[in-house]
C-alpha cells in the first residue's frame, strides 16, 4: 500500500491567517501527519488581508481558469500556492476578486456579517473539490475545518460520490466553538444546490446558522473531531445520536491520536452512512 493521502480544507491557517484556534491546529496537524509518513495537501481561501509578497504566493497557471457557477453566475477561480519551508509543506489558495479581495474576512469594517458569506462559502467548497480533481490527486481522508467548509461533506456524498477522485475518501468534520451568531441567509441551501443534486440534499443547511451548518456537515461526515473544549450542547447531542466515530478533544495537542484516528476510519472495519 502507498502512503495515506490526507486533504485538509480550512478557512484559516497560521501564519497566513490567524482568527481562532483553528489556525494553530491546521498549521501543526498537517506537519505532524506528514512527519508520520502521510501525504498531505492543504487548501484555504486567499482572503484579501493575506499578504502575497510577504508569504510569497504565486499563481498556479495550470490549475487556474475554472469557473464556479453560483446562482447562474460564472465566478472565475484563481489558484495560488505558497510554501512553508520549515515544514516542507505547500498550501493552495483559492482566489476570486469579488469574493475574497477585501480588507476584512467575514465582517466589514463596521463589524457587519457580509451578506454574501453564503456564496463565498459555496464558491470555496466547490472550488476546493474541483481544484483537487485538477491536481489529479485522490485523498483517502478529507478533513474539514471551520464553518466555511461545511458544504464539502454534502458535495462529496452527493455530486462527487462516484467521482474517481473522491469515491473512496472518508470525510472528517471538526467541530469548533461557535464563531458567528448571524445566519448565512434563507437562500443559502437553494444556492448551494449544484447540477446533479436535489434540494433535499442540502435541506439541513436551510437555517444557515452555525448550529445548522455543523449538524448538516455531521450528517454527511464519516467521523467527527471535537476541536475545542466548550462546544455547542445541541451539536454535541446531535453527534451522540448520529453514532459517528468521534475523536475527543485533547488540550495537549498530541497528534498521535489523530494519526490513529485516521488509520481507524480508513480501515475496512468502519462502516458509516449518512443520517
Nearest to 211 by CA among 172, 184, 247, 246: 184
For 83, residues 6+ apart whose C-beta sits below 8 A from its C-beta are 56, 89, 90, 91
Euclidean distance between CA atoms 221 and 231, whole angstroms: 18
pLDDT tens column, 126-183:
999 999 999 999 999 999 999 999 999 999 999 999 999 998 999 999 999 998 999 9
For 227, residues 6+ apart whose C-beta sits below 8 A from its C-beta are 21, 22, 25, 145, 174, 175, 176, 249
| pLDDT of the residue at 272 | 41
Domain CATH for 201? 3.40.50.2000
Of 103-117, 176-190, 221-235, 246-260, give the lowest mean pLDDT range: 246-260
Query: What are 231's three cell numbers?
Result: 462546544
Euclidean distance between CA atoms 49 and 32, whole angstroms: 27
- The domain of 248 spans 5-265
Is 25 a domain residue? yes
Is 224 a domain residue? yes
Q: Which helix (H) or strand (E) holds 274?
A: none
Q: How many domains does the chain have?
A: 1
Is 211 a domain residue? yes
CB 125 within 8 A of CB 188: no
Is 270 a domain residue? no
pLDDT tens column, 235-255:
999 999 999 999 999 877 778
For 12, residues 6+ apart whose C-beta sits below 8 A from its C-beta are 18, 19, 20, 22, 23, 26, 44, 145, 146
Is 275 a domain residue? no
Taking CB atoms within 8 Å and a gap of at least 24, the contacts of 111-117 are: 113/180, 113/182, 115/185, 117/184
User: With b meaning 16 or more CB within 10 Å and e meaning fewer, what string describes 175-205?
Assistant: bbebeeeebbbeebbebbbbeeeeeebbebb
| pLDDT of the residue at 236 | 95
pLDDT reading at 224 higher than 80: yes
Is 274 a domain residue? no
pLDDT reading at 271 higher than 80: no
Is 11 a domain residue? yes
pLDDT tens column, 58-86:
999 999 889 999 988 899 999 999 998 78
Query: What are 148's three cell numbers?
Result: 466555511
pLDDT reading at 42 higher than 50: yes
Is 77 a domain residue? yes
Amino acid at each position: 500500500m502507498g502512503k495515506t493521502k490526507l486533504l485538509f480544507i480550512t478557512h484559516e491557517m497560521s501564519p497566513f491567517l490567524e482568527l481562532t484556534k483553528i489556525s494553530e491546529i491546521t498549521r501543526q496537524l498537517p506537519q505532524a501527519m506528514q512527519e508520520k509518513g502521510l501525504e498531505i495537501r492543504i487548501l484555504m481561501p486567499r482572503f484579501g488581508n493575506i499578504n502575497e509578497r510577504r508569504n510569497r504566493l504565486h499563481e498556479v497557471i495550470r490549475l487556474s481558469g475554472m469557473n464556479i457557477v453560483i446562482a447562474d453566475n460564472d465566478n472565475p477561480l484563481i489558484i495560488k500556492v505558497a510554501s512553508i519551508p520549515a515544514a516542507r509543506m505547500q498550501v493552495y489558495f483559492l482566489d476570486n476578486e469579488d469574493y475574497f479581495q477585501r480588507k476584512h474576512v467575514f465582517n466589514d469594517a463596521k463589524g457587519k456579517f457580509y451578506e454574501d458569506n453564503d456564496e463565498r462559502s459555496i464558491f470555496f467548497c466547490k472550488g476546493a473539490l474541483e481544484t483537487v480533481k485538477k491536481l489529479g490527486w485522490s485523498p483517502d481522508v478529507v478533513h474539514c475545518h471551520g464553518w466555511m467548509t461545511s458544504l464539502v461533506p454534502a458535495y462529496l456524498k452527493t455530486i462527487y460520490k462516484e467521482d474517481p477522485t473522491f469515491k473512496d475518501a472518508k470525510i472528517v468534520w471538526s467541530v469548533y466553538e461557535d464563531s458567528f451568531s448571524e445566519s448565512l441567509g434563507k437562500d443559502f441551501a437553494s444556492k448551494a444546490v449544484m447540477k446533479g443534486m436535489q434540494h433535499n440534499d442540502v435541506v439541513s443547511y436551510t437555517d444557515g446558522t452555525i448550529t445548522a451548518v455543523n449538524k448538516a456537515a455531521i450528517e454527511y461526515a464519516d467521523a467527527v473531531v471535537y476541536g475545542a473544549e466548550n462546544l455547542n450542547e445541541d451539536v454535541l447531542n446531535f453527534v451522540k445520536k448520529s453514532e459517528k466515530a468521534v475523536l475527543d478533544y485533547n488540550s495537549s495537542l498530541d497528534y498521535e491520536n489523530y494519526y490513529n484516528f485516521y488509520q481507524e476510519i480508513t480501515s475496512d472495519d468502519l462502516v458509516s452512512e449518512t443520517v
